[in-house]
Amino acid sequence: MAAAAGVTAPSPRSVAASLARVLSLLAPAAADAVMCLCLAEIWLLYAGAGALEIARIAGAELLAVAVAASKVVAFCDYYLLHAFFYGAMLFVWRLDKDEADEVKHLARLVVRRQGPVVPNRLEAGWKEVRCNTVVFGMFACVALVFLMAAGEDLLAMKGSGWEATGFAMRAAGRLGKNALLCFVVLPTVALKAWRVTRPGWRSDNTFAKNP
């Protein structure tokens, strides 16, 4: 009884500090999970659109798979702007958080007179994500959108003999755009975003360990 009476309850300040430490450890993992969900939602949109186009070409739009794909596309299209907004905001937050930790590390190096150059992690992170693969992929998608538009114009010319050509051009544009986004652009963005938000990543594309 005397030993139990001698045990003091933790103060509210220490409990709050412990909760803050736990949240600071969980917040980056939660942000990474939501960013992955946002990218997955965007990927599902274009993958479903590609599956729908294949079903249209095959004349199987009423199959269960095509109906399910149409529902996925409708759902993802409704939340597309949300995915872009929250994904970008969390990406910026992760870079800002890691940059603050990196600046603290660089300040310690300055005290030791090692003279490091402080990088702009946010700008470098965006530059890393906007790599040549993503830029060229987006330019190719724009060209395929023009191909789709030209195909739509030819389809509107009923009885001119150009309808089959317009159908082929529209299908090629849609399938090419969706394939580029699903298998080139979005996977590259996901890998780059994951890399630059890891602790220790520097703007010179290297990783540094805190002493």
pLDDT digits (tens, 9 = 90+) for 128-150: 888 889 999 999 999 999 999 99
Q: Which residues sit opposite 201 in a β-bridge?
A: 207
| Structure-block tokens of residue 61 | 């739009």
Q: What is the pLDDT of residue 115?
A: 46
Token output for 3: 């030993």
Provide the b/e sequence for 50-60 (b: ≥16 CB within 10 Å).
bbbbbbeeeee
User: What local confidence, expressed as pLDDT, does residue 2 receive?
Assistant: 46
What number of other Cβ atoms are within 10 A of residue 193's Cβ? 23
Q: How far is CA 138 from CA 42, 80, 93, 152, 186, in A?
A: 15, 17, 25, 21, 10
- The stretches in the chain having pLDDT less than 70 are 1-18, 20, 22, 97-119, 202-211
Q: Which pLDDT does position 20 carry in this prediction?
A: 67
* The pLDDT value given to residue 13: 67
Q: Can you give the residue ranges of every domain in the chain?
A: 16-196
Give the predicted TM-score (pTM) of the model: 0.77
Give the whole-angstrom CA distance, residue 20 versus residue 61: 52
